[in-house]
Structure 1
Amino acid sequence: YFSRGAQAKLTHSLQTESIDYDFEAGLRLHKDGEDRLQRDSTYHQSRGKLLLDDLGRWGNAGNQRQTAEAVAAYFQSRITFKSVVLSPGLRLERIRQDRTRWETQASRTTDPADRSLDNLRDQRRNKVQVLLPGIGLLWPLTPTVSVVAGVHKGFTTPSNAPGVEPETAVNYELGFRSSGRTGLEAIYFLSDYDNLLGQCTASSGAQCTPGDSFNGNAATVQGLELTAQREYATRTGLTFSVNLNYTYLDGHFDTDIADTAFFGDVSTGDPIPYLPQHQLHIGLGFLTTRWSHFLDFGYQDAVCVKASCTLFETTQSQATLDLSSHYELNARTAIFAKIENVTDQNNLVARQPYGARPNRGRSMALGFSISL
């Protein structure tokens, strides 16, 4: 595996009697890739030890090379008039991806490590170019309360799979922030997808080949995020903190899609898989000069694992409680302890790949940290 590149950035500021301008422009060149010549080795276990049976031939588990080259250029500015800040920007992305595979099956080649033209299996290439505009607004209403708003075009590049389009969406947000003694934030957001991209990974929870991509076509995701935080300091040196975060999500497909290994069989209005409607987090903290203790509660709704969302295509909601403590021995050394899932809740959190899977059980850790 390799990853390399170079980037440059130019900034400039300009002040007038009533308006301040801050400009920034940048260019980034990037290339990464993987060269995978793999083999399967077989072992057997005897008396608690793994013993090698067959080392395997190079290439019998995969023989391929993939590369990606990208050029990104952007320009953004920050325009300040009195206390109002406007932040327009523009970004250009150009990406090319290539993949070459050679034959590895014994019925098709005598040497799975061979990379000659005679042993070529297939080649594919994908090119993407996209222009991404955006603008943000920060409008203070009082010294502690501000309105925030923004419209940005989002983008996710697909894999080099043929026929797969990039993910594009126009994202909107509107809300307010308060920075007083009690921090408050309420943001409404909406993402209007022209194409929702499904990326298959080893942990994506779908019966598909890692690296493949799938078109989800048009979809809409909208929701509301509420955040509150407050700290109370006592005369005895104890500080008490409270953090609350709640997110409501509504995501659905806007078109019909034929059955895919990632999204399933989709009809207009079906829910987007693995998107919980309700999420809640409450955190309590107790801090002294050296001690700090935290109690965290989290809740997540049940989700659909396929768009059709039948009886055996849903998970269970889950509520977990975590505890952690931290003690500073000196300026550079500390010890810590934590218990995750204190009540040892057992919930079904995924159904793919290969059937139902539970959440992590109760776990404990004890350790120390040193700052050099």
Structure 2
Amino acid sequence: MRLPLSMAARSLAAALLCTTALPALALDTAVTTATTDSETAEDRAQRATAPSSIIVTAKRDGERLPDQSGTLIFAGKLGDVVQLGNLPPVAGRNLRVAMADIPGIVVSEVSNGSWASLSYRGLGEPHESWNLLTLQDAIPAVPDMYSYPAAYFIPPLELVERVEFIRGASGLLYGPQPGGALNYVMRGPRREAGAEGLVRATLGSWNAGQILGGASVSDGRFAADGFIQFAQGDGPRRDNSDHDQLTGQLRGHILGDDITISLALDYYRGHFGEPGGLARDRYLTDRRGGTTRFDRLRIERLAPTLSVDWQVGDLTQVTARAFYSRFERESWRQAGGGFGQVTPEANVLIRQLQAFDTAGLDIRVRRDFGAAAQHSFTLGVFGHTSDAPVFVDKGSSNNDFVGLGGALARARRSGDAAALFGEVKLTFGDLQIVPGFRLERLRQDVVETLDLAVGSVTGGGPGGQNGVLGNRRNVETVPLFGLGVTWDASETLRFVANASRGFKPLLYNDGVTFQAGIDVADEFASSYAFTIEAGVQAEPVPPLRIDASLFRVTLEDQVGFLGGPLPASAPFGAVGAGGARRQNVGSMRNQGLDLAARLDLIGPQGLAQSQNTLRLSTNLQLLDATFTSGVAQGFTPQYAPGHMLRSILSYIGANGARAALIFTSVGDQQGADNNAADFFLPGYEVLDASVEWPLGSGFSVGAGVNNILDERYAGRVRPGAGGGFDPGMPRNFFLSVGWRG
């Protein structure tokens, strides 16, 4: 059972819920701002010299998609743009706050902040954001966007200008993932001559500390910028919850009249303690406890990128992105652990190293045509390759991080992909029709050369062979398509519809896995999605903007897991309580409503006039999700809450002051596709608040309280050894001091 809030706390939450939801729920149909401003020559010049991002210009206030930008076409698509500058700086990796303006994004909170765990519309387990495409400045920021799209890297949110999200399969121009594309757009480059710098220091609960420094310089033609951030802390759990992270970036830019060339080098290194999952009764009574005192995780990333944005005359634009990344994921986990139980200290460590060398090239061209250049087409090619060996070794003790006990497993993994894609935007007055396609050719190889049993969990060499060595080769040619329609019924009313086909490739660890306590099928099938969405965007009066969309998603052959206990059934063995069986679990049908409203109470267009803005925004997703076939038929998919409501009351001062009060309500969730009781996640409500205030001479001070009501909850549960519930963070505080000049 979930511990109840106090009567006073529940009254506060209910009042905020009613207040923020009222503007949206009082209307029969919901919609968002539409803009029909035509693109000017000045817009084209700005676009040609803009930094690499999915969205280079945006409509009016920068919080809605433009019809087209650079070589990208957004007409006929639904998405969201979060301007993080409208909030106080987001401390640490609080994605619950950073993503609060995106309807339907599930933030499955990881207590030590070691990675992003996100999902959308119930389309699969959110663990490490496998079903989304995560990008930084329009370049994949994952180990392998096809075969291992884990979101281990989160850029410093204080330096993210905005977060862009293209919903569902309508993001097929950026990759095949059915869950959509999420892009972190960094600030810069500086375009006017001069120099500026920034420094920010943050202190918080559990000895958290963070220092960020950055600088940029430009003479108007050449520019350079960079930053470095170091963060550390003990974490919310009493044992083995510490972390330290180092993030840095250097960029150089050539800023021509018609061309921008940017070269960037990103580096990230993170060390994390992994305190382990808790049994349900324990996280409700002792959420700061742990079960794995010696488990550790190291993530390291080095990523150089080259971006070119070229305006070729008035009608043609070209973009090119070349990227490489070296990801290393190294973990140390004690052998012989159990679901939600304390692992005996004597158990030895198992070291696993996954290394990813990935490279890619993305070239696109957009050409406008027609009597008034009102039509456009875009065509692009994409190439991608990766090499990702795995090394698993057994330690001789609980502090042997080398693996002196002997080799347990070795696997060679590699993949190549090539894609051809394009769209045509046909404009007939107020109507735009946008057909598009993507053709994928994908090859994946996974070959196990060694796979031995752990043997004794307290010492000694590895045991005997685990069985037949895994050997999987997958070659697929996949045609995908999309069709979008936009109709501007008036200056303040727009209708948008989209139908798109998406594709979830097999992962490297489908069929050849190294996770203890998980029984895995020998064969897996890729998953295919089809999404239909229709929405309205409107601005009934200047202070009020409303969005609404109805959606229906079908996903065939979803790869998920069934929670134990499960009896033996060929080719599987029996699975005990807390364990899981990973396989294709069936086809799902998810449908629902996305609703969002924004009301400027005070401000330039608000109900009351002021240079400052007091804004109330809310978004709601209602979701009905179920498996329609397969072994999970009739069950609710993992992480598909019936409702998600977020409300933000924000103050945006003309002098740079910012304040925000954010309310989050998430409905009940299932943590296993067969709805096993041991994995059930009760709904919860969380309230966060933060403020930043300028002091003059470029200095500012900030503060915040997360989980003000100290709600006891968990938004994440993992099966197998070391698994269990990952409790949400208790009430915590932070204080920051910054300077920009």
Q: TM-score, normalised by structure 1?
A: 0.81
* Amino acid paired to 2:359: R
In the TM superposition, residue 107 of structure 1 has moved relative to its aligned partner by: 9.5
Question: How far has the Cα of 1:53 moved from its partner?
Answer: 5.9
Cα distance in 2 between the residues matched to 1:274 and 1:54: 34
- Note the 1:220-369 alignment, pairs <5 A: 220-231=589-600, 232-233=602-603, 235=609, 237-257=611-631, 266=632, 268-288=633-653, 289-309=655-675, 311-329=677-695, 334-353=700-719, 354-369=723-738
Correspondence for 1:10: 365
Q: Using the TM superposition, give the Cα deviation of residue 308 of structure 1 relative to its aligned residue in structure 2, in angstroms.
A: 4.1
Take 1:37 and 1:59, find their aligned partners in 2: how far apart are those partners?
Answer: 11
**Cross-structure match for 2:528:** 168
CA distance in 2, matches of 1:36, 1:330: 53
* 1:100 corresponds to which of 440, 447, 450: 447
> Could you tell me how far 1:339 is from its partner in structure 2?
1.5
Please tell me the root mean square deviation across aligned C-alpha atoms, in Å. Answer: 3.0
Map 1:180-259 → 2, pairs under 5 A? 180-198=542-560, 207=579, 214-231=583-600, 232-233=602-603, 235=609, 237-257=611-631
Matched-pair contact (CA < 8 Å) for 1:37–1:58 = no
Are the aligned partners of 1:128 and 1:157 in contact in 2 as well (CA < 8 Å)?
no
Question: Which deviations, in whole Å up to 9, do the C-alpha atoms of 1:57-78 show, x marking residues without a partner?
Answer: 3862542221111111101111
Deviation per CA, 1:84-138: give whole Å up to 9, x if none: 1111101001111111222253899xx99xxxxxxx9442211222111111111
SS at match of 1:217: strand
Identify the match of residue 81 of structure 1 among 419, 423, 428: 428
Give ranges in structure 1 of 5+ residues lacking alignment: 45-51, 113-119, 201-205, 258-265
Q: Which has the higher contact order (CA 8 A, sep 6+)?
A: 2
SS in 2 for 1:254: strand
Q: Which of these residues, 110, 128, 131, is aligned with residue 476 of structure 2?
A: 128
- CA distance in structure 1 between the aligned counterparts of 2:401 and 2:730, rounded to whole angstroms: 36
The one-letter code of the counterpart of 1:31 is: T
Q: Residue 383 of structure 2: which of 5, 19, 29 is its match? A: 29
CA distance in 2, matches of 1:79, 1:158: 35
- Structure holding more helix per residue: 2
Residues 96 and 237 of structure 1: is their aligned pair in 2 closer, same or farther, counting only changes over 3 Å? same
Alpha-carbon distance in 2 for matches of 1:333, 1:247: 39
Go from structure 1 to structure 2 and tell me whether the alpha carbon gap of 1:60 and 1:284 turns closer, same or farther (over 3 Å shift).
same
Q: CA deviation at 1:227?
A: 0.3
- By how many angstroms is 1:313 displaced? 4.3
Deviations along 1:228-285, whole A, 9 cap, x unmatched?
012221555432011110000011011141xxxxxxxx2x322112210011001001
Residue 499 of structure 2: aligned partner: 151
Contact 1:295 1:323 in 2 (8 A): yes
Alpha-carbon shift at residue 142 of structure 1 (Å): 1.2
Once the two structures are TM-superposed, the CA of residue 186 in structure 1 deviates from its matched residue by 0.6
| Structure whose alpha-carbon radius of gyration is higher | 1
Counterpart Cα distance in 2 of 1:311 and 1:199: 14
| 1:19-58 matches, cutoff 5 A | 20-41=374-395, 55-57=402-404
Unaligned segments of structure 2, at least 5 residues: 1-355, 456-460, 463-467, 512-521, 563-577
Could you say if the C-alpha distance between residues 134 and 59 of structure 1 is closer, same or farther in structure 2, counting changes exceeding 3 Å?
Answer: farther
How do 1:55-74 residues align onto structure 2 when only pairs under 5 Å count? 55-57=402-404, 60-74=407-421
Q: Separation in 2 of the partners of 1:208 and 1:331?
A: 57
The answer on whether the counterparts of 2:365 and 2:379 sit within 8 Å (CA) in structure 1 is yes
Aligned residues with identical type, % of pairs: 22
Does structure 1 conserve the Cα–Cα contact (< 8 Å) formed by 2:396 and 2:404? no
How many residues align structurally? 338
Alpha-carbon separation, structure 2, partners of 1:253 and 1:106: 35
Cα separation, 2, equivalents of 1:95 and 1:199 = 25
Which residue type is aligned with residue 629 of structure 2? T
Matched to 1:135, the amino acid is: L
Deviation of 1:356 (Å): 4.0
